[in-house]
Structure 1
Amino acid sequence: MRLLIIFLSVTNAFIIIYGPQPILPLFMREFGISISTASLSISLTILGIVFSSLFLAVFSDKWDRKKVILVSNLLLIIPSLALFFTHSFSWLLVFRFVQGTLITGVTTILMTYAAEEFPIKKKGMVLATYVSATLAGGLLGRVLCGLITEHFNWEWFFFVTTVMTTLVSLLIYFFLSESTGQVKSGKQNFTDHFKNLPLLSIFFIGFSHFFAFVGFFNYLPFYASQAPFHYSVAQTSLLYLTYIWGIVSSLITGMVSNRFGRRATIAAGHLVGATAILVTLIPSPYTLILGASILTLGQFCSQSSATAYITDVVTHSKGAATSLYQCFVYLGGSLGAWIPGILWRHFHWSGIVVTTVGFILLALSSNYFLGGKRNRVAQSKRVAV
């Protein structure tokens, strides 16, 4: 039951984060705003996750895991319901930011909870479930929002998420067991994580690769709505079905990274992702689907391996380490949702491709120069930081 609750809670959180992506062109037309301004509805949500991740890096190992998860879910109901009633884009951005600050208490703490409450022999299965939930949420959110908007209007998507968040909160309250594996610490040594160079490189890898991933999918609706595609909102949302390939990636990554090493697997994900984005420069529906599919394979290959690497090398202040990693990842996602839009004005899709591929190459460089030889050691021996 605990594993099911983890899956549903994380899925719901990612539905909220990425659901509005297919309707960004609609925001642009309805509110009379620019592409980069419309993208703030995603960027500010992710930025809220960044800020709260820093906060949790300090306090997460002091507070009871279940209480943080429950309270965060309950509070998340408020901005979700407020978005259903708002008709101002400025207030929409405010409530989206608040959603982001609260979502961290669900996603980050659940990741730490899962690592502590399940036996080591089940760690692979638990992490695979968590990653699958992020995939399911990212996929369902975009498709659900697109279809609801096509048949009703975008406000009803937020009403649906309000109902879903309420149901998830009830499941957590009644069925999620109390945290028993948590070792509460009065003194946090999260700053020591920055002294571990390979771990620091994972933070930067997460930042760079997620910048590219979010940047690509955030501006995909604008590209798909133009010539030669001219996709509707519903058709654009169906492009996110390519997220299914992430399930394949997350299932095989564990076995591959155990055999060839975490960093080698992460590097493979980088190369696959960069190639996928370059393919979309050929303006065809087939290359668009192919590129989105292969990028998803590469992204979750890197993400799964990076998450496993952190659990390999960290033995103390796990909540702090996880929060810091999430902070870097979502900071990259927040900037990736906004910065490429500036280049769109002059270079359109080519500007998005150059920017996102460039950041993947930065991640690859970090993987090579900062990783060192500790990667092989880390998988056979845990290193305290």
Structure 2
Amino acid sequence: MNRPALESSLNPFVTLILFWCSLIVVSAVYVTLPLISLFAEVFHVSSSQATWAGSAFSFAFAGGGLLFGALSDRFGRKKMMMTGLLLLTLTTLLIGTVHAFSWLIALRCLQGLAASMFPPSVLAYAMEMFPTNRRVTMIGFISTAFLMASIVGQIYSSFIVLTFDWSYVFYILFGAYLLSSLMIAFGIPSDKTDRPQGSIFAPLARIGMLFQKKRLPLCYIISAILFTALVGYFTTLGSYLTSSLFNLSHEDILWVRAAGIIGMLISPFDGKLVAKYGVKSVLWSGLILAAIGLGLLGVWENLAFLIIMSVIFTTGVAIALPALISLIGQLAGEVRAIAVSFHMFMLFIGASLGPMLSIYLVDIGGHLFTFEILVGLLCISAIVPLFIPLRESSGTKGQEPAHSV
């Protein structure tokens, strides 16, 4: 398929498919968060043990993304997305049938590995298959899906267990993943870029090349901090809103969290911001906006004000994340796929550390102290772009700056 024909086949339906599949896959990271107390009761384990239903997935998801992102260089983006979705479909069905906690944890690990094949592959697919004037916008849609999954996954599982047994959370997801597999198989064009030959493990050797690019590792500091702050915020928010200051029910808290989706809707428009102001400026602005929203969140004990600051915080994250991915793609050049995979690895390492850090900080200093520490981390990350020299001439600000390095 030649390039003009390929680009013409990337219609809005393809964008919808990639958005939907990104949302539904990454939602699996978060679906067990509202089920922790239920798992503790059903499987007769402690709450700390029950949290491994989420942690086991997260660690496998982070490590697997690094591995499979490299292998997508060898086998192709669409094939890797298809394989991941099919394995995710099977493991999700099996999780709904388990009666032993050990099997739940083992299958959540396998589910995390299967799910990890999708995000780095879909991001590399967007970078390679979309024309330059649509690339950052497409990455914005995918990033929006990743961010919305942190809320949608929790709302979905909470809603299901109000009416059905917890196993139906996974049975319904099984159907959604099966449908998504068909959508990827028949709804998007195949990527036809040249693939390296030789050993299937050869792409893994390219990981070392990331650290030969002096500016690229700095981006990964931002990657880790961004999701440490995001997931740490969600973790702290839950206990903050159930405290005597607000005394909200768990159902009410979910709707407060859902308000954050409003801020996330800006992500698809990040391409226009990058085209006008440059990728570094947009990244820096997003980080500062997120820090402002989170920093002001606890200054007034008013629920409406808290929701507004929450929306400002998630807006900042939604602005920063697509710009960060675009910057990594520019700096990485020929190792773009593994660079984005390492970005995903660092994101979900941050997502795994966020709850642990937040719980520890709440125990020693309280909720407001925790929010301010997370703000401090965001401020540190906002300094990092200043140490990444990047040419962004006026010519590159008129289009997606894929070739500005």
- What is the TM-score when the length of structure 1 is the normalising length? 0.88
1:245 alignment partner in structure 2:
262
- Kept in 2, the 8 Å contact 1:57–1:190? The answer is no
- Amino acid in structure 2 at the alignment position of 1:205: I
Equivalent position to 2:390, from 371, 374, 377: 374
- Against the structure 1 CA distance between its residues 41 and 275, is the aligned structure 2 distance closer, same or farther, given a 3 Å change threshold? farther
Distance 1:90 1:346 in 2: 32
| Higher RCO (CA < 8 A, seq sep 6+) | 1
Per the alignment, residue 273 of structure 2 pairs with 256
The more displaced of 9-18 and 349-358 is 349-358
**CA distance in structure 2 between the partners assigned to 1:25 and 1:37 by the alignment:** 10
Task: Quote the Cα distance in structure 1 between the aligned partners of 2:275 and 2:107.
Answer: 42
Q: What SS class does the counterpart of residue 259 from structure 1 fall into? A: helix
Q: Check the 8 A contact 2:160/2:168 in 1, yes or no.
A: yes
Q: Relative to structure 1, is the Cα distance of residues 233 and 43 closer, same or farther in structure 2, using a 3 angstrom cutoff?
A: same
Offset at 1:375?
5.1
Residue in 2 that maps onto 1:133? 145
CA shift, 1:185, in A, is 5.4
Q: Does 1:234 align with 2:246?
A: no
CA distance 1:375–1:289, shift in 2 (3 Å):
farther
Letter in 1 for 2:376: G
CA contact (8 A) 1:131 1:304 kept: yes
Partner in structure 2 of residue 151 of structure 1: 163
**Contact 1:68 1:109 (C-alpha < 8 Å) held by counterparts:** yes
Quick one: which of 43, 50, 60 aligns to 1:48?
60
Instruction: Name which of 63, 74, 92 aligns with 1:80.
Output: 92
Q: Which residue does 2:370 correspond to in 1?
A: 352
Deviation (angstroms), 1:37: 5.1
Structure 1 position 279 matched with structure 2 position 291: no
Match of residue 211 from structure 1: 228
Q: Look up the equivalent residue of 1:78 and give its one-letter code.
A: L
Q: Which amino acid aligns with 2:291?
A: A
What's the C-alpha RMSD, in Å, of the aligned pairs? 2.7
Matched residue SS, 1:2: helix
Q: CA deviation at 1:355?
A: 3.5
Stretch moving more, 211-220 or 343-352:
343-352
Corresponding residue number in structure 2 for 1:193: 210
TM-score between the two structures when normalised by the length of structure 2: 0.84
Residues 137 and 270 of structure 2 are in contact (CA less than 8 Å); yes or no, is this contact kept in structure 1?
A: no
Aligned AA (1:244): I
Conserved in 1, the CA contact under 8 Å of 2:215 and 2:331?
no
Residue type of the alignment partner of 1:332: G
| Aligned-residue identity in percent | 21
Counterpart of 1:320, as a letter, is: I
Q: In the alignment, is the contact (CA less than 8 A) between 2:132 and 2:402 conserved in 1?
A: no
Task: Check if 1:337 corresponds to 2:355.
Answer: yes
Contact kept in structure 1, 2:59 and 2:349, CA below 8 Å = yes
Residue 20 (structure 1) aligns with: 32
* CA deviation after TM superposition for structure 1 residue 2, in Å: 2.8
Contact (CA 8 Å) 2:127, 2:135: kept in 1 or not? yes
Question: How far is the alpha carbon of 1:238 from its aligned partner?
Answer: 1.5
Letter in structure 2 aligned against 1:85: T
Contact kept, 8 Å, 1:150 with 1:234, in 2: the verdict is no
- Report the Cα distance in structure 2 between the residues aligned to 1:230 and 1:93, rounded to whole angstroms: 32
Per-residue CA deviation, residues 148-179 of structure 1 (Å, 9 max, x unaligned), is 22333433222221111111112223333322
Write the distance in 2 (CA, Å) between the matches of 1:155 and 1:122: 40
For residues 294-326 of structure 1, what are the alpha-carbon distances to aligned partners after superposition, in whole Å with 9 as ceiling and x for unaligned?
Answer: 111011111011112123333313211111111
Check if 1:301 corresponds to 2:314: no
Find the partner of 1:33 among 46, 52, 55: 46
